[in-house]
A and B are shown apart, each in its own frame.
Chain A
Amino acid sequence: MSVAEVNEVEAAQAGQGLEVSSVSFAYDGAPVLQEVDLRIAPSEFVCLLGPSGSGKSTLLRLLAGLELPDAGLISSNDEAIRGPSLERGVVFQNYSLFPWLTLAQNIQLALKKAHPQSSESWRRQHIARHLQRVGLAEVADQHPSLLSGGMQQRGAIARMLALGSPILLMDEPFGALDPVNRAKLQDLVLEIWAATRKTVVFVTHDVEEALYLADRVVMLGSSPGRIIQEITVPFARPRSRRLFKSHEFTELCERIDGYFREEMLQRIEAGIEAGIEVLPAGRA
């Protein structure tokens, strides 16, 4: 398969939907998610937004098939998700790459699994293509520990793309990065999404990040995690960073913060749990 053909195949694979129906999940007896319903359209970019403990990462693990729900059903293209599959690529906050393999070897491992019949030279060509795409062609033979956090996440994205999955799941992938790197990587993700039209589910606790990236923001509240609000992001694409300065953007940010504050207040008043951490400013 040539590079152009692969791009076509990727385009054809673009967009599988995901469906979560009345899913509950407990960890060691403690409820993490309760009665979650969510439908994600093919090629949609959805951000799961919520404070720590809202179960947003758990929801992503369930979508990936790394955990199975205690009740309810999760499906993709009308097929129940019973475990991880190459249909869904994942990027974690860190540690997505194996530290004993070079960047190229990490990508190669993914390519071998996604294309078991492929030849050595085909794989070499595609390792280069994927690393080129995320701007890491120069450091292909480096080990992850020698790369910066931003480069490691670029590598993780390249590995995810190498799997050729129609659905991309990202668990706070830029949470540990400095603002400049985070901005660059956000733009990289938008660029990849625009080019491939893959379905993206992106977990974050940063309101601005969610509004900049997503078609739709799904807000989760904690104890136990559940969906408290969904917002369709009204801003036209392609979006520029000037958006952050606009009145509409800041107003929407305020509104989302307001929902979380209201949710927290209600819980404190209900005496369920006092002093819970809501969208810590320092980490956002």
Chain B
Amino acid sequence: MSVAGSQSNLAGASALEATVCGGPVLVRPAGGHVGGRTTSPKPAWLRVQGREGVLFIAGVILLWQLVSAVIPFSGHYLFPSPVLTARTLWVSLPELLVGTGYSFLILAPSLALAITLGVIWGMLVGTAPALNRMFSPFARFVSPVPPTIYIPYAIVLLPTFRSAAGFVVFIGVFWPVFLNTCSGAATLPRHYRDNARILGLRRGEYLRRVVFPATLPQIFAGISIGLVFAFIMLTVAEQFGASNGIGRFVQLYADYADYPRMVAGILYTGVVVWISMEVLECIKKRALFWLK
């Protein structure tokens, strides 16, 4: 297999690690990470994306084309050229779109439930010392378990594939959202609490009107890690036992040794994850407009 295939996998993995490794940093007090992201000067960013970024991607595609032309025995079969991959992607698009629909049917409810529960429970645990003492030991023990490890058991244990995949996506999203929300709420700057007390806010009002907005930067940091995890969990789960979905698409054509379709599926997955992250970034920028 394929230099380009493993390259793109490597690139995917390192991007992932970067995001995941960003996690522990965010767990520490109030997020410089988010500030850095939202305040980066736009013209410079555009320049980089506009020139260097595009040039680099063009270079990678060129190299891919050259390598696929040079490899003698595989031809377009094992190591499809970019042109062939693009054509295959175009042809497979209807099937991929339907697969995406199935994937999102599992992803969306689990994501919504995990974010809702993670945020609410994180705010409660972060602001109530007694709850914190009760839940923290359990969280420290359970949260580091790599969620993919649950997949085979979840598939056996739960009645349908949908419920099993939904469950592991939930686990993958819940912990990063919960941990980030909790640490954000626990390390809330003192002046927010002082002002809430001066105004005589009751606990519910305090959580809703002060803790929630003040913790939003950390909540979004948790959600972006969670979103990446959600896609990992979903595609891995689909490779185990789905009848539909993006992960299933890649696994199916790998089994049939239809590598052009498989590579097209991988590329397509990258695009879907990228678009999802961009949408999240837009929502975050809107929600955190007040952050200077």
Q: Do A and B bind each other?
A: yes
Interface residues of A (CB under 8 A from B): 64-66, 83-86, 88-90, 92, 95-100, 109-110, 113, 143-145, 163
User: Is B201 on the interface with A (CB-CB < 8 A)?
Assistant: yes
Kindly state the separation between the CA atoms of A64 and B200 in the bound complex, as whole angstroms: 12
User: Residues of A contacting B131 with CB < 8 Å?
Assistant: none
Tell me the total A-B contact number using a CB cutoff of 8 A.
51
User: Is B273 on the interface with A (CB-CB < 8 A)?
Assistant: no
User: Nearest Cβ distance between residue A82 and chain B, in whole angstroms?
Assistant: 12
**Nearest residue in B to A109 (C-beta to C-beta)?**
B199
What would be 28 A-B contacts, judged by CB atoms less than 8 Å apart?
A64-B198, A65-B197, A66-B197, A83-B197, A84-B197, A84-B198, A84-B200, A86-B200, A89-B198, A90-B198, A92-B191, A92-B195, A95-B192, A95-B195, A96-B195, A98-B192, A98-B195, A98-B210, A99-B290, A99-B292, A100-B213, A100-B214, A100-B216, A100-B290, A109-B209, A110-B199, A113-B199, A144-B290
Which of A64, A83, A95, A110 touches B189 (beta carbons < 8 Å)?
A95
**Which of A65, A97, A99 has most B Cβ within 10 Å?**
A99
User: Residues of B contacting A85 with CB < 8 Å?
Assistant: 200
User: Nearest Cβ distance between residue A245 and chain B, in whole angstroms?
Assistant: 37
Kindly state the separation between the CA atoms of A144 and B195 in the bound complex, as whole angstroms: 15
User: Residues of B contacting A99 with CB < 8 Å?
Assistant: 290-292
User: Residues of B contacting A144 with CB < 8 Å?
Assistant: 290
**Nearest residue in A to B201 (C-beta to C-beta)?**
A113
User: Residues of A contacting B201 with CB < 8 Å?
Assistant: 113
Interface residues of B (CB under 8 A from A): 189, 191-192, 194-195, 197-201, 209-210, 213-214, 216, 289-292
User: Residues of A contacting B194 with CB < 8 Å?
Assistant: 66, 90, 92
Kindly state the separation between the CA atoms of A90 and B292 in the bound complex, as whole angstroms: 24
**Which of A85, A86, A109 has most B Cβ within 10 Å?**
A109
User: Nearest Cβ distance between residue A62 and chain B, in whole angstroms?
Assistant: 13
Which secondary structure dominates chain A's binding surface?
loop
**Nearest residue in A to B200 (C-beta to C-beta)?**
A113
User: Nearest Cβ distance between residue B193 and chain A, in whole angstroms?
Assistant: 9
User: Nearest Cβ distance between residue B271 and chain A, in whole angstroms?
Assistant: 34
User: Residues of A contacting B291 with CB < 8 Å?
Assistant: 99, 145
User: Nearest Cβ distance between residue B209 and chain A, in whole angstroms?
Assistant: 7
Q: Are A163 and B290 in contact (CB under 8 A)?
A: no
Q: Are A145 and B290 in contact (CB under 8 A)?
A: yes
User: Nearest Cβ distance between residue B202 and chain A, in whole angstroms?
Assistant: 9
User: Nearest Cβ distance between residue A176 and chain B, in whole angstroms?
Assistant: 14
User: Residues of A contacting B290 with CB < 8 Å?
Assistant: 99-100, 143-145
User: Residues of A contacting B191 with CB < 8 Å?
Assistant: 92, 95-96
Which of B192, B199, B210 touches A163 (beta carbons < 8 Å)?
B199
**Nearest residue in A to B210 (C-beta to C-beta)?**
A98
User: Nearest Cβ distance between residue A147 and chain B, in whole angstroms?
Assistant: 11
Supplied contacts A89-B198, A100-B213, 11 more A-B pairs, CB within 8 Å: A64-B198, A66-B194, A85-B200, A86-B200, A90-B198, A95-B191, A95-B192, A95-B195, A99-B290, A144-B290, A145-B292
